[in-house]
Amino acid sequence: MATSETICGQPMDRVDGHLKVTGRATYAADVRLDKLAYAALVLSTVSSGRIKHIDSAPAEKSAGVLAVITHHNAARLHSQEQEKRPGVDPEVGEPLSPLQDAVIRYHGQPVATVISETFVQATYAASLVHVVYEDSSGINDFNAAAAKAKPPTPVKGGKPGKSADYQRGDSAAALAKADVRVDAKYSIAAEHHNPMELHATVASWDGARLTLYDKTQWVDNVQEQVALAFRLDKENVRVISPFVGGAFGAALRVWPHVLIAALAARHVKRPVKLVLTRSQNFTIPGYRPKYLQNVSLAATREGTLTAIEHEGIGQTSIYEEYTESLLDTTRQLYACPNVKTHYRLAAMNVNTPASMRGPGEVSGVFALESALDELAVALKVDPVELRLRNFAKEDPEYNLPWSSNSLQACYRQAAQRIGWDQRTPAPRSMSDGNQLIGYGMATATWPAKRLPASVRVQLKQDGSASIETAGSDIGPGTYTALTQIAADALGLAASQVTVVLGDTNLPTAPVQGGSMTIASIGSAVHEAATAMRNKVIKLAQEDPQSPLHRAVASDIEVKAGRLSLHKAPHTGESYAQLLQRHRQETLELTHSSKPGDETKKYAMRSFGAHFVEVRVDRDLGNVRVARVVSAFAAGRIINPKTAHSQAIGGIVGGIGMALLEHTRWDSRNGRIVNSNLADYHVPVHADIHPIEAFFIEETDMYSNPIGTKGLAELSIVGVAAAIANAVYHATGKRLRDLPITLESLL
């Protein structure tokens, strides 16, 4: 679809690039208002029990302090009425309603907030708040919690396997009579999203109206939940979030600090800014939970899968049951008749986990794709060949045809680009001086979904257009891609289109999550802009003064804002001329777009394949990911430049998961011991070597009107398995616990 005729498909620079690099893009914490006061949080230092006593007097007397809010004097929040948002809120349990009672549910829970004239005064005074706890030693040890893991509470309409056990065929019988079987246990450390931008909210009341400047992936959700908590009409809450400095899922939900900022501003009757510290970033928003997983595979001697059993035990809090699509891939990726999955939850005194890039799938696929590699070794079959032999020609869970599936092309082309045929299969068989060389691969996949979205289009008298919708841009290039989609549909140059995002005053839009933004909002922009073009064409057709009067619509084309006839490109007129003659300052329309019944007819997923070369030092055991080659089939790519950035970002996240990222709780007291960027390691520039990410040409005719499928989450899924498989190939050591560390290799 990428032709020189369309702006979609071109590697256009980011339209917001200049704003960002010159510091003119305004993030939540950048907002300055008159009489702005600053809040700082006090967090609990035990993981379970009650607050016995809070002495806030010393803090209240401290310089610049306006107020100290604790559960004794906080206004009541009506959070129990909050509606659960699918895909964002856990279906079972109640979110933490901050400063409402004396109960301590986890270490690092907000117990007070101090509001002062300055940030420094607030931070200092927060250190003076003295809290006495009745410590009832909570559940702080994951293994102990996992030993008592329970199935998630069944939810009405819950997806099989996410909230309920799943079975097709008879996996036990197939495992019992397997030619070859693999049984293995895998574990994954918890990880925290650490976007550069810290979570921040500025709250400002004007009577009963509240304005929030917030870091969020979903302004409409913040509006709705805050309105419910404060019993306000939704219209009286405005949420503004034009730029978000990374999120990866950390800003999908409404976390306690957002409510605290609003509480604080109302209490002191002044606007209040609350910016979390990096350390608070670990216990106010969520994180990717820890998992234990058991996988059993059975296959014939020829390498046909006959059974898969996959059990996952995931970490959750004591107040919410956090589940995610951990086991979905296992049921859908391979053509296997006998499959059983079951999910168990280990509840602990921790804050509730949350979606983190590729939520669920990224964790489940690590186990599944590691086990596939173990099976390939046991069968003495090439790992790529094993996957090709078990390719699912249709979706084996719902028995639906794929809307598109170029997975086989991903395997073949990425294998060729990395030089897979040079790989000698035996472990430790390749080296370069003191470095053991290993090649490994794994599959990537993510569901392609679409949600309803609304968009307003304005065509102005100068021929330019604006596109407005509440949706967010957390960094993937949404402003840019939507500009391209609108420009093509309107027949304008990209420079004539302005996209406005991130404000509840704009037409409603879904969460920027689940890799659904372009499919959802992009489709709405395409439809809205097409409707606007048709409206203008009609205006010309009905206008006796127009050169296009009574022209047949299919004969009319629009290019660079000029309407003309295909056959006679010189006869015509511009949007601007037409609107001026009609004395129309603007033409405006709002359009709502939603998916049809395609999900009932097709199974829709993006696919990909990661191939990596690792180099492991023979003596020191340090692992270097020397090269990554990844192929993605994600439907039509609107902007190959921003898509490429997004893909390599996901792969870097996968390298972090495989080798570095590890949130550690002290099992004695439930405290996170590495809640800072010195001790919580993310990959830095020196950890990253050549990454080649490329796209398989694919336009999905069924997923949505613009043929896209979604890329963000896809790009991280499978990376860690490919690295672990490569480490096995390099060293002969099968490492089933993430992150892979020096100790585990020595």
State the catalytic residues: 713
3 state SS of 642: helix
Between residues 221 and 577, which has the closer beta carbon with respect to ligand MOS? 221
Q: How far is the CB of 345 from ligand MOS (least distance, A)?
A: 19
DSSP string, 500-539: E-SBTTSPP---S-TT-HIIIIIHHHHHHHHHHHHHHHHH
Residue labelled with tokens 């893991």: 149
Name, in order, each residue with C-beta under 8 angstroms of 186's C-beta and a sequence gap of 6 or more.
291, 292, 293, 294, 295, 366, 367, 370, 371, 736, 737, 738
Q: Spell out, one character per residue from 151 to 190, where the chain touches ligand MOS: x when CB under 6 A holds, - when not.
A: ----------------------------------------
Between residues 514 and 654, which has the closer beta carbon with respect to ligand MOS? 514
Q: How far is the CB of 194 from ligand MOS (least distance, A)?
A: 14
Q: How far is the CB of 511 from ligand MOS (least distance, A)?
A: 7
Q: How many residues does the chain have?
A: 746
State how far the alpha carbon of 262 is from the alpha carbons of 115, 497, 571, in Å: 12, 35, 58
3-state secondary structure 26-63: CCHHHCCCCCCEEEEEEECCCCCEEEEEEECHHHHHCC
Strands 435-447 and 400-401: unpaired
The alpha carbon torsion through 485, 488, 492, 495 (nearest 10 deg) reads 40
Choose, by CB under 6 A, the member of 396, 514, 649, 707 that binds ligand MOS. 514
Q: How far is the CB of 359 from ligand MOS (least distance, A)?
A: 5
Q: Which of 208, 209, 212 is nearest to 199 (CA)?
A: 212
Q: How far is the CB of 190 from ligand MOS (least distance, A)?
A: 15
Q: Does 656 bind ligand MOS (CB under 6 A)?
A: no
Find out whether 256 and 180 touch, Cβ atoms under 8 Å. Answer: no
Choose, by CB under 6 A, the member of 356, 457, 551, 717 that binds ligand MOS. 356
For the CA atoms of the chain, what is the radius of gyration? 27
Helices (H), 419-514: 478-490
Between residues 246 and 427, which has the closer beta carbon with respect to ligand MOS? 246
Find out whether 202 and 257 touch, Cβ atoms under 8 Å. Answer: no
Find out whether 470 and 502 touch, Cβ atoms under 8 Å. Answer: yes
Q: How far is the CB of 428 from ligand MOS (least distance, A)?
A: 37
Give the Cα separation of 314 and 305 in Å (integer).
26
Give the Cα separation of 607 and 140 in Å (integer).
38
The DSSP symbol for 209 reads: E
Q: How far is the CB of 248 from ligand MOS (least distance, A)?
A: 6
Q: Does 513 bind ligand MOS (CB under 6 A)?
A: yes
Name, in order, each residue with C-beta under 8 angstroms of 207's C-beta and a sequence gap of 6 or more.
none
Residue labelled with tokens 């495989």: 658
Candidate segments 146-154, 312-320, 323-331, 350-358, binder of ligand MOS by CB under 6 A:
350-358
Between residues 252 and 727, which has the closer beta carbon with respect to ligand MOS? 252
Between residues 355 and 496, which has the closer beta carbon with respect to ligand MOS? 355
Q: How far is the CB of 9 from ligand MOS (least distance, A)?
A: 25
Candidate segments 207-215, 246-254, 547-555, 729-737, binder of ligand MOS by CB under 6 A:
246-254
Q: How far is the CB of 320 from ligand MOS (least distance, A)?
A: 17
Between residues 323 and 413, which has the closer beta carbon with respect to ligand MOS? 323
* Residue 46, token pair as written in the block: 């035990």
Q: Does 357 bind ligand MOS (CB under 6 A)?
A: yes
Candidate segments 354-362, 477-485, 529-537, 720-728, binder of ligand MOS by CB under 6 A:
354-362
Choose, by CB under 6 A, the member of 95, 195, 249, 510 that binds ligand MOS. 249
How many chain residues bind ligand MOS (CB under 6 A)?
11
Between residues 197 and 374, which has the closer beta carbon with respect to ligand MOS? 197
Q: What is the number of H-type helices and E-type strands within the chain?
A: 19, 32
Q: Does 286 bind ligand MOS (CB under 6 A)?
A: no
Q: Does 355 bind ligand MOS (CB under 6 A)?
A: yes
Q: How far is the CB of 216 from ligand MOS (least distance, A)?
A: 11
Q: Spell out, one character per residue from 459 to 498, where the chain touches ligand MOS: x when CB under 6 A holds, - when not.
A: ----------------------------------------
Between residues 128 and 717, which has the closer beta carbon with respect to ligand MOS? 717
Q: Does 332 bind ligand MOS (CB under 6 A)?
A: no
* Residue 253, token pair as written in the block: 């939900």
Give the Cα separation of 550 and 89 in Å (integer).
54
Phi, psi of 586 (to 5 degrees): -145, 155
Between residues 306 and 355, which has the closer beta carbon with respect to ligand MOS? 355
Give the Cα separation of 612 and 590 in Å (integer).
46
Choose, by CB under 6 A, the member of 303, 359, 621, 718 that binds ligand MOS. 359
* Residue 290, token pair as written in the block: 């820890």
Q: Does 290 bind ligand MOS (CB under 6 A)?
A: no
Between residues 152 and 353, which has the closer beta carbon with respect to ligand MOS? 353
Binding positions for ligand MOS, 213-242, rule CB under 6 A: 217
Candidate segments 119-127, 352-360, 432-440, 599-607, binder of ligand MOS by CB under 6 A:
352-360
DSSP string, 156-187: TTPPBTTTB-EEES-HHHHHHT-SEEEEEEEE
- Interacting residues with ligand MOS (CB under 6 A): 217, 247-249, 252, 355-357, 359, 513-514
